[in-house]
Amino acid sequence: MPAPILAVPAASPFTLEGYKKLVAGRIAVHNPEANDGPLPPMLKSIVVLEITIDRLGNPIQIAVYRSNGFRHLESRALESVVRAAPFELPAQGVLQGAGSVTFLETFLFRGDDSFQIRSLVSAPEPRG
């Protein structure tokens, strides 16, 4: 069984990277398949989604941008975004005058089909 999501890193909602973390955190909290344990040495699959969110926080387009062919994991990633909606409203600085914001998010799938979201994964501590 995947580890529960204990905490979502703080992020500034006024930057695209910060907004991506807010969206990723909401996805993680609303999906039991999300995992926050250490990444395994080998991942089963990596699915990259292109997500467009309107100014009201609704996903208006979600598409598989890149995958290695595990269709059920592509579906799991897509469904996890839908399940977590609606999201916080993007700040004007994130929208940059547009009616929506589009970004890529990467889902890292383990052998047990649980996933982590790249925006929430901490960089490993340097060795030595």
Strands (E) across the chain are located at: 45-54, 59-66, 100-109, 115-117
Looking at residue 85, its amino acid is: A
What DSSP character marks residue 72? H
Residues 6+ apart with CB under 8 A from 115: 33, 34, 35, 73, 76, 77, 80, 107, 108, 109
Which CATH number belongs to the domain containing residue 99 in this structure? 3.30.1150
* Residue 7 within a domain: no
Give the mean pLDDT of 12-16: 81
* Residue 84 within a domain: yes
Residues 6+ apart with CB under 8 A from 28: 5, 8, 34, 36, 117, 120
SS3 108: strand
Instruction: Return the pLDDT at 10.
Output: 53
Which backbone phi and psi does 42 adopt, to 5 degrees? -130, 130
pLDDT digits (tens, 9 = 90+) for 38-88: 999 999 999 999 999 999 999 999 999 999 999 999 999 999 999 999 999
Whole-prediction pTM value?
Answer: 0.86
pLDDT digits (tens, 9 = 90+) for 75-117: 999 999 999 999 999 999 899 889 999 999 999 999 999 999 9
Domain count, the chain: 1
Q: What is the extent of the structural domain holding 34? A: 16-118
* Residue 4 within a domain: no
